[in-house]
Amino acid sequence: MSKNTFAENQLRHALDDDAQVWLFGYGSLIYLVDFPYLESRPASIRGWSRRFWQGSHDHRGTEENPGRVVTLIDEPGAVCGGLAYLVEAPVFRQLDHREKNGYLRVATDMTFADGAQATGLTYIATSDNEAWLGEASEYEIALHICGAEGPSGPNDEYLLELASALRKLGQHDAHVFEIESHIGQIRSAGADRR
């Protein structure tokens, strides 16, 4: 059973309703943009790596069979590329609902593609949240992803859309691309057997 972080996030940052806040997205927030924003810019954050170590019980899996989605892991020297959105503060209510399965809003510095910097918020699920699945090899993660599906769709769609969006942004992520390649092989081996 996963802990719902919606209420905790609502209390975390006192944002004035008329404030405009930068949101750094590194997972589905890059390619599934169902929230209003004023501006979006490719951006990166330092000291974090993207990993498919978080469970998804509400979007890409179920309570019985959670999927795997990305979170950020503290890693000195690492750079994680994504997309930043300038949003009006009330939009965080909708975002907190979407990211409620273990993610907490965290303040972060971000660097835009032109070198300019801003401070904003990102959603991170840490190892102490109840939906955490943790480390596994890229092959094990690929197998897991191939067997999960939730209300937002198949788990492999999440990964494939993310890999494609990262490519469009010119971002290389060895972890994501290796899982993508294993999924391709698992799928073609399955097709061969049919």
85 half-sphere exposure, CB direction, 13 A CA radius:
20
Integer Cα distance of 178 and 182 in angstroms = 6
Does 27 bind ligand SIN (CB under 6 A)? Our answer is yes
- Select from 19-27, 108-116, 132-140, 177-185 the region that touches ligand SIN (CB under 6 A): 19-27
Closer to ligand SIN at the Cβ: 69 or 131? 69
- Residue 96 DSSP symbol: H
Which one of residues 70, 121, 141, 166 is an interface residue with ligand SIN (CB under 6 A)?
A: 70
Task: Return all residues near 121 (Cβ < 8 A) that are at least 6 apart.
Answer: 13, 21, 22, 23, 24, 92, 105, 106, 107, 108
Q: Is 39 labeled as catalytic in the residue annotation?
A: no
- Select from 12-20, 23-31, 109-117, 136-144 the region that touches ligand SIN (CB under 6 A): 23-31
Nearest to 101 by CA among 152, 159, 138: 152
Binding mask 28-57 for ligand SIN (x = CB under 6 A): xx----------------------------
Which one of residues 99, 156, 173, 180 is an interface residue with ligand SIN (CB under 6 A)?
A: 99
Q: Residue 36 has which token pair?
A: 């209003």
The site for ligand SIN (CB under 6 A) is made up of 25-29, 69-70, 99, 123
